[in-house]
Structure 1
Amino acid sequence: MNTPEPQKGERPATAPTASWSPPLPEAPGFEHVVVETPGLRRHVAMIGDGAPVVMLHGLPQHWWEWRDVGPRLAAAGYRVICPDQRGFGWTEADDPRLGPETSLHDLTAMLDELGLDRVRVVSHDMGGITGMQLAYAHPERVFAAVTLAVPPGFMSFSAKLVPSLRHIPPLLRHRAGESLRWVFGTGYTAHPMSAETIDAYLAPTARPEVDAAIPAVYRHVVPSVMTRLTFGAYRRQRLVPPSLFVFGDQDGAFTEDLVRRLCGDTTRYAEHAELAFVEDAKHFVVDDQPAAVAELIVDFFDRVG
C-alpha cells in the first residue's frame, strides 16, 4: 500500500479499499487506515469526529462487527475507532504468536501512535478481555468502558456458568480449514445471521495466520484469564473507570438473576459499575440488536461523561 506515513499522533492516511485482500465487506461511511506499531500493521476502520471511542471486536469477528453501531455513535458526536486485533481481520503481524496480554500491549501501542491519551472503550467477547485488562492496568487511559457478553472481572464463579463455556473445547481443537460457521448458530444468536453476514465475518480466515489464531486464543490467552477470574484476582483489585456490562437476555447461563447475584454489591469492587440486559438477544448481542446496543452505549457515555 502506497499511503503516506503519518507522524505520531496524526490521523493516518486512508488506504484504498481495493488494496485489501480479501476485499473488505461493505460498511458505508467508514474509512480504512493502517496504523503501524513495532511488528504490527494494524487495519483500523474509522467513522465520525469527536471524542474517541475504541471498539474491540469478538471472535471470530473483526471491525465489521461495528458496522451498524459505529455510525450511530458517530451521529452522537463520537469518533469511532475499530481496530482488527492481532491475528484477526486484515491486521498483519511479524510474529503471530499470542500471549495473555499481547492484545493489551498492542492496544496501548496503537493509542500512543494515534496520540490518544484517554479514550472510551467498547468491547465484545474476546475484545472484552483486552478492554478489561486496559481498565484494570491503565485506568488513567479509560474515561469509561462498555463490555458486551463478558462478565465483570469481579463477578464470582458458579458451576451454573459452565454451560456458557461449551464453545471452548471445539475452538481449542480447531484445525486449519475446518468450518467455523457453527459459531454463529442459533445457540449464540437470537436472530439467525444470513449466509452473507457469516461469509463476511469468516472471509479473513482464508489467511492461514487468521485461521491459526482461533485455537491460539484458547491455548494461550483464555486459560490465563479464566484462572484469574475463577480465583478472584480481580476481586482483590478495584475497577476505577465507570463501567457498563451488557448481556443479551437469552444468553444461556448469563441470566439476569444469576449475574446480579454473582456480582453482588458492585460498590465493593468498582467505583461505578452497571449491568444491563438487552431483550431478544444472545451472545452476539451486537448483531442481534445493534440499535439497542448503540442506545445503551450513548446513554452511558453521556451520563458518566
Structure 2
Amino acid sequence: MPTHLTTPDGTRIAYRDHRPTGYGDHRPTGPATPASVPAPPPILLLHGLAGHQGEWDDLTHRLLADGHRVVTYDARAHGDSTRRPATTTRASHVQDALALIDHLSLTPATLIGQSLGGHTALLLAAAHPARVASLVLVEAGPGGPNPDLPTRIASWLDSWPTPFETLDAAREFLGHEAWARGLERRADGWHPRFDHDRIVACVAELATTSYWSHWSRIPHPTLLVRGDKGTLGDDETTEMLTRRPRTRHTLIPDAGHDVHLDQPARLHEAVTAFLRTRKDLDLNQN
C-alpha cells in the first residue's frame, strides 16, 4: 500500500519509497571501496498524463537491483492521490515533486519523467536546480503553446469504452497491462482512477504557454529518450538539442510514446549508461 504525503494546499500524494537491500548501511573503506565513491543517486520517477506510479514497476525493479533508492508517486488528480485537488497547474505539480524530494531527503535526486511527468521534471530542474542531480526525459520536452492539446486529450479520454467489462478488455484497448492495472473495479466494471475534467485541466497551460526559457536554463546533465514510433517530434527534438547541445539523445527502437512499457529493458540500459557516465565524471573530479 502507498504512503501519503499531504501538501500545503491539502492535496494527498500517494507514494512508494523503494529501497534496495542494505540501503544506508555503513560501507567499509579500503582500496576496493574508497570513501570517495558516491552511493548511487536516489531516483524520483514521474508518470505521464492519466497514468499511475505502477507503470514504473519494471524499471523500479531494475534500478533497485543496481542499488538505487527509487521513489514513485501518483501525480495529483491521478491514482491514489487526491482525485479532485484544488488546482492542477503546472506549478502545483512541481511543488508536489519538490515536497517529496524534501520530505524524503532525496536531494540531489535524479529525475526520470515520461510525457507530462517529464515536463514536470523539466520545470522542477529549472526552478530548483540544487534539488536535482541529473534529468532523464522520456518522450518529453518543453512543448507549448499547443492550442489543440486540451481538445485532443478530451477526445482521447472520451474514446475509452468505460466501464471496461474485464481487465482483459482494458488491456486490449489500452495496449498495456500496466495501464489496465491503473483502473479500479466498481459494481458495473473497471473505471479509470481519475476524473475526466481534472485530467484535461492538467494540460490547460500547455495550450497557451511556452516553456523554452525553462529548458534553456537547466544546468544539469540531461538524457532525452524517444521511441522511434513516439510522439515527440523531430522539430522539437532538434530545437532542444540546439539550445542545449550537451544533452544526450537516445532513440529506442520498437517503442512508441510509452517507452517505459514498450521497451523497459532498453530504457534501463540507456538510463544506466547515462548514470554511469555521470558517476565516472564525479569520480574524476574528486
TM over 0.5: yes
Name the structure 1 match of 2:242. Answer: 265
**Structure 1 residue 150 corresponds to structure 2 residue 140:** yes
Query: Could you tell me how far 1:286 is from its partner in structure 2?
Result: 0.8
- Could you tell me how far apart the structure 1 residues matched to 2:270 and 2:183 are? 28
Q: Which of 289, 293, 298 is the matching residue for 2:267?
A: 293
Q: Is the 8 A contact 1:53 1:81 kept in 2?
A: yes
Choose which of 205, 208, 227 in structure 2 pairs with 1:224: 205
Report deviation, 1:202. 2.6
Aligned residue runs from structure 1 range 90-105, under 5 A: 90-92=80-82, 95-105=85-95
- Please state if 1:72 is matched with 2:62: yes
**Counterparts in 2 of 1:1-305, with a 5 A limit?**
17=1, 32-38=2-8, 39-47=10-18, 48=20, 49=23, 51-92=41-82, 95-151=85-141, 153=142, 168-172=150-154, 174=157, 179=162, 192-194=175-177, 197-203=178-184, 210-212=193-195, 214-219=196-201, 221-229=202-210, 232-234=212-214, 237-252=216-231, 254-255=233-234, 258-267=235-244, 272-305=246-279
Aligned to 2:112, the other structure's residue is in SS state strand
The answer as to whether partners of 2:90 and 2:120 remain within 8 angstroms in 1 is no
TM-aligned CA deviation for residue 265 of structure 1? 2.7
| Aligned-partner Cα distance in 2 for 1:156–1:58 | 16
Query: Once superposed, what is the RMSD of the aligned Cα atoms?
Result: 3.6
Secondary structure of 2:133's match?
Answer: strand
For residues 171 and 128 of structure 2, the distance between their equivalents in structure 1, rounded to whole angstroms, comes to 33
Matched-pair identity in %: 23
1:302 is displaced (CA, Å) by 1.7
Task: Measure how far apart 1:259 and its partner are.
Answer: 4.9
Alpha-carbon distance between aligned partners in 2 of 1:77 and 1:140, rounded to the nearest angstrom: 23
Q: Distance in 1 between matches of 2:112 and 2:153?
A: 24
CA separation of 1:184 and 1:278: change in aligned 2, threshold 3 A: farther
Cα offset, 1:167, TM superposition: 7.0
Name the structure 1 match of 2:30: none
Return the offset for 1:215: 3.2
Pair 284,178 (structure 1): closer, same or farther in 2 beyond 3 Å:
same
**Residues 92 and 261 (structure 1), Cα distance of their counterparts in 2 relative to 1, 3 Å cut:** closer
CA contact (8 A) 1:73 1:80 kept: yes
- Matches of 1:283 and 1:133 in 2, distance apart? 20
Q: Secondary structure at the match of 2:42?
A: strand
Structure 1 stretches lacking a partner, 5+ long: 1-16, 18-31
Listed one character per residue, the Cα deviations across residues 25-65 of structure 1 (whole Å, up to 9, x for unaligned) are: xxxxxxx4333433133221232245310000112211111
Give the 3 Å change call, closer, same or farther, for CA 254–95 of structure 1 in structure 2: closer
Partner-residue secondary structure (3-state), 1:211: coil
Displacement of 1:170: 4.4
Structure 2: distance between partners of 1:259 and 1:184: 31
The number of residue pairs the alignment matches comes to 252
